[in-house]
Amino acid sequence: MEIPARKVISNNVYSGFEDAVGNTPLIRLRKASEQTGCEIYGKCEFMNPGGSVKDRAALYLIKDAEERRILTPGEPGVIVEGTAGNTGIGLALVAAARGYSTVIVIPKTQSEEKKEMLRIAGAKLVEVPAAPYRNPNNYVKVSGRIAENLGAFWAQQFDNTANRRAHIETTGPEIWAQTNGEVDAFSCAVGTGGTLAGVGMFLKSKNHNVKVGLTDPCGAALYRYYTTGELKSEGNSITEGIGQGRVTGNLEGFTPDLSFEIPDDEAIAVLNDILKYEGLALGSSSGTNVAGAIRVAKALGPGHTVVTVLCDLGQRYGGKIYNKQFLESKELPVPDFLRNPGLPDN
Ligand code: PMP
């Protein structure tokens, strides 16, 4: 099978899937901006073809393996990865476009919608009980063993720095250009840390005064690590894809200037505001990210430009953060539109 060369045919006409990854717009978040006196922008990563920020990492992980001759375009190859879902979706789609197959190991606790999308994208799914990283049955460890047994390529998004390179070479430069170099701060949560460290490193290389903020879900280890030096998680956040318990390879050599811990109810309240004021129904990590950008804006004071990431869409969490029973079971506030689904009074 012949793989077409990467080529943008003309403005907005692409030669294939990979050219459609990235170059996402920034959206000004009206309520968050008015509330803080800053300009707060969300980078619309949900507009990537696989529906999340992780398409960028997936593309770089596969291209890096091809450059290292671990995979050969046009020849059969198997990619194995442990993922909360979105990296797996990106990998499965890029793999399909380039003639490879994928085995995805995912914790059972992740949303059914992401698992469904993985099946639709052609991945072989291995569901495992959620277990901490130190446990040999943790999904990342299981994926490593499966890759070894199959003699397959283990993408290793957490420690393979091709992941953050995607953000050093694409997301960071896009944000710099979109803000005409006037960005004062960038903040987001961490899954692998590829987005935070990659964008952070690039923006600081352009202007060392740019502040980079980690906005961790409540109880995750890194907030405590960067503020007290203690690496310990005691969280039970309902957010997915974020909340890291260790300093991954992608975070090595990078330290955020600011760190905040965002409770789930604050993230959910912000998601409801985004739906109401911006017309966007986003996934849980985007709620943490925008709540975090508001905290960063408040810390810097009015007049600053803050950018964060809108990672994926709420559709991927229909049974969770957009489900009344689920929210009630977690003792989280239920927004009015989920409480009263009938027709409005006239
Ligand atoms: N949000 C979502 C929904 C994700 O799936 C991920 C990746 N697991 C992230 C945020 C975090 O991105 P990164 O891995 O670059 O830290």
Could you report the per-residue pLDDT of 169-198, keeping only the tens digit for each? 999 999 999 999 999 999 999 999 999 999
Question: What is the average pLDDT across 39-46?
Answer: 98
Question: What is the average pLDDT across 14-27?
Answer: 92
Nearest CA to ligand 1 atom 6: 241
Question: What is the average pLDDT across 154-169?
Answer: 98
Q: Which residues line ligand 1 (CB under 6 A)?
A: 52-54, 84, 86, 189-196, 240-242, 283, 285, 311-312
In angstroms, rounded to a whole number, what is the distance separating the alpha carbons of residues 114 and 207?
Answer: 37
pLDDT digits (tens, 9 = 90+) for 224-241: 999 999 999 887 899 999
Q: Examine the pLDDT at 4 and tell me if it is beyond 60.
A: no
Question: What is the average pLDDT across 265-282?
Answer: 96
Rounded to the nearest angstrom, the distance between the alpha carbon of 140 and the centre of ligand 1 is 15
Global ipTM: 0.99
**C-beta of residue 121 within 8 angstroms of C-beta of residue 96:** yes
Choice among 10-19, 21-30, 102-111, 251-260 with the minimum mean pLDDT: 10-19
pLDDT of residue 345: 66
In angstroms, rounded to a whole number, what is the distance separating the alpha carbons of residues 17 and 63?
Answer: 13
**What are the distances in angstroms from CA 330 to CA 66, 265, 294?**
44, 10, 24
Nearest CA to ligand 1 atom 12: 191
pTM: 0.95
Q: Which of the four pLDDT bands, split at 50, 70 and 90, describes residue 5?
A: low
Closest CA to 123 of 140, 106, 110: 106
Indicate which atom in ligand 1 lies nearest the CA of residue 284.
3
Q: Examine the pLDDT at 205 and tell me if it is beyond 50.
A: yes
In angstroms, rounded to a whole number, what is the distance separating the alpha carbons of residues 276 and 49?
Answer: 25
Rounded to the nearest angstrom, the distance between the alpha carbon of 197 and the centre of ligand 1 is 12
Rounded to the nearest angstrom, the distance between the alpha carbon of 81 and the centre of ligand 1 is 14
Rounded to the nearest angstrom, the distance between the alpha carbon of 118 and the centre of ligand 1 is 16
Q: Examine the pLDDT at 214 and tell me if it is beyond 70.
A: yes
Q: Examine the pLDDT at 344 and tell me if it is beyond 90.
A: no
pLDDT of residue 6: 58
**What are the distances in angstroms from CA 81 to CA 41, 59, 140, 141, 156?**
31, 13, 7, 10, 6
**C-beta of residue 215 within 8 angstroms of C-beta of residue 191:** no
Share of the chain above pLDDT 90, in %: 88
Mutate to test the pocket of ligand 1, among 43, 44, 47, 52 (most ligand atoms within 8 A of CB): 52
pLDDT of residue 1: 45
Q: Which residues are catalytic?
A: 54
In angstroms, rounded to a whole number, what is the distance separating the alpha carbons of residues 225 and 246?
Answer: 9
Counts for the chain of helices (H) and strands (E), in that order: 13, 12
Choice among 8-12, 115-119, 159-163, 312-316 with the minimum mean pLDDT: 8-12
Q: Do strands 26-28 and 39-44 pair parallel, antiparallel, or not at all (unpaired)?
A: antiparallel
pLDDT digits (tens, 9 = 90+) for 127-139: 999 999 999 999 9
Indicate which atom in ligand 1 lies nearest the CA of residue 198.
15
